[in-house]
Amino acid sequence: MCGIVGYVGGQSALDVVIAGLKRLEYRGYDSAGVAVLADGQVASAKKAGKLVNLEKALVERPLPSGTTGIGHTRWATHGGPTDINAHPHIDNAGRVAVVHNGIIENFAALRTELTDRGHDMSSETDTEVVAHLLAEAFSSRGDLAESMRQVCGRLEGAFTLVAVHADEPDVVVGARRNSPLVVGVGDGEFFLASDVAAFIAHTRSAIELGQDQVVELRRDGVRVTDFDGADADVREYHIDWDASAAEKGGYDYFMLKEIAEQPKAVADTLLGRINAEGSLTLDEVRIPPRVLRAADKVVIVACGTAFHAGLIAKYAIEHWTRIPCEVELASEFRYRDPILNTRTLVIAISQSGETMDTLMALRHARDQGATVLAICNTNGSTIPRESDAVLYTHAGPEVAVASTKAFLTQLVACYLVALYLGQLRGTKYGDEIRAVIRELSRISHEVERVLETMEPVRELARSLADKRTVLFLGRHVGHPVALEGALKLKELAYMHAEGFAAGELKHGPIALIEEDLPVVVVVPSPRGRSVLHDKIVSNIQEIRARGARTIVIAEEGDDAVVPYADHLIRIPVTPTLLQPLVSTVPLQVFACELATARGNEVDQPRNLAKSVTVE
């Protein structure tokens, strides 16, 4: 959620930090602030609202120049989005500055303890107690990293903390527990951030930070320890995209750019996973084949858009492997006492690799002895590190809050896992697997074709900008696509939108149908699931007879739907299980254009954050 940047080196810390915060705006925030060490003092500024408010304040009251600093974009939890509650928070003596992502669950008791000792608290936040605790610890230890380790031992909850102290002008210290933090390694300069996007313009070398670790940055190097002070093993890795990938590239919005990048993203996810004979070679899946062959149940855990990818994956996994598959909302998973054992394969899907609900679900699964495979887009993030294996989607940075290319690449990765299991278990013959892989290899081109025909969809979206409700219907794999289409509209257009299984229409939802109500229907192929196709055509007739405005997504050559479609959106002919890869794209374009027509902020919808790192 919150964006964090820290810097120590030879450049202007303020310039580096502000630029880094701008690259993290996509995460969602409601206030921003910075602190710089200069002339033996901590100088800070913070403002509620967008970064432009902070920049305006810095023009009016410039901070002194320094080469060590920290910055923050806050997503309000404890205390509203005000100037006072914005980060950084500073102790009473003005020597320590702290920024924080996460929630400190025992802050109330700590706050009472500190006020009893004479500390004055100026904000409503949980973060402020850390600044005061660090100041106390530093007064007796004289070492910021050691003080951070001591303080972290007293904190409960999930947190990333980054701090500076006026008495150590060339040091930035960070700590993480259940919340993302990554180190950027430059030439005589080092960076800390909640996402590599913050420093990608300066370096593409990064260091993973593990759970319960403290990192100390100095101009001459980095030291990482655990909370007890023991040196930790670190792994430096190379970021395989550059700063230009995180820019808009001429598009009005990141979301538009990311929708357009989907053909390449899909192709990149397939790259290197198919050998010369057409078989799958998922080398990064380090789970022994005997374990995968022995699995008698698959459980997918995910949130939001990733959950919809999991719902589609269930159809493929069960059809191609004959293994029962359950799909669970990660936020509910561990609270319902799920039945797991050593023969259960858990697939955790997360774009960021830091989704807290999904992380806690996979930890619960591993505690029960299950094997965990992560599907993720972010190298070095927590979920892949804590899983038994990972399949990276290679989608590149996704900056817009509403997920597009991450969703399609998650689907491709799920198909690869399903086929791989079928290959290992012998439930699919080699020629069958090769046939599906050939179809998957064509999908990138088919997505490109869909994108070339989207102007009528944009025009339709603009015409519906004044509507209050849109319904979505689908059957089979089209049902999760309907759910995803409704979610995109809720996220971006702030409209009431619901997705339903079309077969459930007469069991309640048909009561919602009224004159001129837009209803989007995702039609299955008449070739692959002809019985379902006939039934959904009947559904379209039912709602149209009651005055609905039917928006029909159907494959090329499907003429049976033409008489009942007020608006017809054609998609290429694809195998039934792969159809979501093309049928989802018009719904992304539809939601983006409708939100734009309503004057909404497409990349940063209200109340939403890109990565939900608290439960």
Q: Which residue has the tokens 């799909």?
A: 327
CA distances from 155 to 99, 132, 589 (A): 15, 13, 44
3-state secondary structure of 508: coil
Contact call for residues 205 and 379 (beta carbons, < 8 A): no
pLDDT of 279 > 90? The answer is: no
Q: Residue 75's pLDDT is what?
A: 76
Is residue 610 among the annotated active site residues?
yes
What mean pLDDT comes out for the span 101-109?
89
Does residue 614 have a pLDDT over 60? no
Eight-class DSSP state of 274: B
Give me the phi and psi of 354, to 5 degrees please.
-125, 5
CB 585 within 8 A of CB 570: no
Category of 502 on φ-ψ map: left (φ > 0), alpha (ψ -120 to 50) or beta: alpha
Mean pLDDT, rounded, for 307-314:
98
Beta-bridged to residue 100, according to DSSP, are 161
Question: Please, are residues 83 and 15 in contact by the beta-carbon 8 Å criterion?
Answer: no
pLDDT one-digit tens code per residue, 156-203: 988 899 999 999 999 999 999 877 889 999 999 999 998 888 998 999
pLDDT tens string 352-375: 888 889 999 999 999 999 999 999
**534 token code pair:** 């006939």
Spatial CA neighbour of 2 closest among 160, 115, 119: 160
**Of 19-28, 30-39, 333-342, 533-542, minimum mean pLDDT range:** 19-28
Calpha distance 377→370 (Å, rounded): 22
Residues 256 and 460: their CA atoms lie apart, in Å, by 17
Residue range 522-580, pLDDT digits in tens: 999 988 767 889 999 999 999 999 999 999 999 999 999 999 999 999 999 999 999 99
**Which residues does 226 contact at the CB level (< 8 Å), separation at least 6?**
212, 213, 214, 232
Average pLDDT, the chain: 92
Q: Which of 314, 428, 490, 610 is catalytic?
A: 610
With cut-offs at 50, 70 and 90, classify the pLDDT of residue 381.
confident
The yes-or-no verdict on residue 276 having pLDDT over 90 is no
pLDDT above 90 for 399 = no
| 2 labelled catalytic | yes
Check residue 610 and give its pLDDT.
Answer: 63
303/610 Cα distance (integer angstroms) = 12
Q: Give residue for tokens 């299984």.
A: 501
Q: Is the peptide bond before 397 cis (omega within 30 degrees of 0)?
A: no
How many other C-beta atoms are found inside a 10 Å radius of the C-beta of residue 62? 11
pLDDT of residue 248: 74
Q: Which pLDDT value is given to residue 613?
A: 58
pLDDT (0 to 100) of residue 1: 59
Angle at 475 between CA 470 and CA 478, to 5 degrees: 70
What proportion of the chain, given as a percentage, has pLDDT over 90?
75
Q: Hey, is 305 helix, strand or coil?
A: helix
Amino acid at 392: Y
Q: What is the pLDDT of residues 317-352, one digit of tens each?
A: 999 999 999 999 999 999 989 999 999 999 999 998
Question: SS3 sequence, 100-157?
Answer: EEEEECCHHHHHHHHHHCCCCCCCCCCCHHHHHHHHHHHHHHCCHHHHHHHHHCCCCE
Strands 496-501 and 469-474: what pairing? Answer: parallel
Measured CA to CA, the distance from residue 87 to residue 77 in angstroms comes to 12
Contact 229, 146 (CB under 8 A): yes
- Cβ 479 vs Cβ 311: under 8 Å: yes
Strand 182-185 and strand 168-177: pairing? Answer: unpaired
DSSP state of 23: H
Q: Is 397 helix (H, G, I), strand (E, B) or coil?
A: coil
Size (the chain), residues = 615
User: Cα separation of 239 and 236, whole Å?
Assistant: 10
pLDDT of residue 531: 82
Catalytic residue among 2, 152, 303, 376: 2
At residue 116, the pLDDT reads 95
User: Smallest Cα–Cα separation from 25: which of 246, 249, 305?
Assistant: 246
Q: 394 in the Ramachandran plot: left (φ > 0), alpha (ψ -120 to 50) or beta?
A: left
Q: How far is CA 144 from CA 97, 137, 173, 293, in A?
A: 11, 8, 7, 50
Closest CA to 375 of 467, 458, 273: 273
Q: Which of 33, 78, 70 is nearest to 51 (CA)?
A: 33
* pLDDT value of residue 4: 93
The answer to whether the predicted template modeling score (pTM) of the entire model surpasses 0.75 is yes
Task: Identify the band that residue 586 occupies on the pLDDT scale cut at 50, 70 and 90.
Answer: very high
Q: What is residue 80's predicted lDDT score, i.e. its pLDDT?
A: 84
Sheet holding 496-501, edge to edge: 496-501, 469-474, 518-522, 549-555, 567-571
Nearest-angstrom CA–CA distance, 271 and 378: 17
Q: Which domains, and CATH codes, for the chain?
A: 3-245 (3.60.20.10), 248-451 (3.40.50.10490), 455-597 (3.40.50.10490)
Quick one: CA torsion of 98, 101, 102, 103, rounded to 10 degrees? 30
Q: In the predicted model, is pLDDT for residue 247 greater than 80?
A: no
pLDDT in tens, 469-492: 999 999 999 999 999 999 999 999
In angstroms, the first-to-last Cα distance of the chain is 11
For 278-353, where are the E strands, in sequence order? 297-302, 325-329, 344-350
Question: If phi over 0 gives left and psi between -120 and 50 gives alpha, with beta otherwise, what is residue 154?
Answer: alpha
Confidence label for 240 from pLDDT (cuts 50, 70 and 90) = confident
